[in-house]
């Protein structure tokens, strides 16, 4: 709905109550990105990645954040995870294309 500041406040509250919920961390990362807080977004993506529940989506979010922050090692590592699971083939291809563009 465009109220990223309000969403962030609510997400931070939820993160305090559910620190191991990767979905909340991914949403927080996206919200911070929308607010222009790239470092905070990357930190939240990392926290989401470290959460015990596993999903290709959180690897994809971390890879995108790593690409945006210039951390090629993390980006490529997460891309490998996404490709290994194989449930996000289009996103993996798009991410590979984004990596190639970034190199150019």
| Residue 74: predicted pLDDT | 92
| Residue 57: predicted pLDDT | 86
- pLDDT (tens digit per residue) in 56-104: 888 898 899 899 889 999 999 999 999 988 889 999 999 999 999 988 7
Q: Which two tokens stand for residue 36?
A: 């222009």
Calculate the average pLDDT of the chain. 91
Name the residue among 39, 38, 11 with its Cα closest to residue 23.
Answer: 11
The CATH T-level fold of domain 4-103 is: 1.25.40
Q: What's the whole-model pTM score?
A: 0.71
* Alpha-carbon distance values, 18 to 13, 44, 48, 91 (Å): 9, 13, 11, 28
Domain ranges for the chain, please list them: 4-103
Other C-beta atoms within 10 Å of 32: how many? Answer: 24
Q: Is residue 20 over pLDDT 90? A: no
Q: Which residue has the higher pLDDT, 48 or 97?
A: 97
| Residue 49: predicted pLDDT | 84
Q: Is residue 54 over pLDDT 80? A: no
| Residue 102: predicted pLDDT | 85
- For the chain, where are the E strands, in sequence order? none
């Amino acid at each position: 709905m465009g109220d990223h500041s309000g969403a962030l406040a609510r997400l931070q509250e939820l993160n305090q109550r559910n620190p191991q919920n990767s979905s909340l961390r991914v949403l927080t990362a996206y919200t911070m990105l929308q607010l222009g807080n790239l470092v905070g977004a990357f930190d939240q993506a990392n926290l989401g990645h470290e959460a015990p529940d596993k999903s290709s989506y959180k690897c994809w979010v971390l890879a995108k954040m790593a690409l945006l922050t210039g951390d090629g090692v993390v980006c490529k590592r997460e891309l490998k995870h996404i490709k290994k699971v194989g449930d996000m083939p289009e996103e993996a291809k798009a991410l590979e294309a984004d990596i190639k563009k970034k190199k150019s």
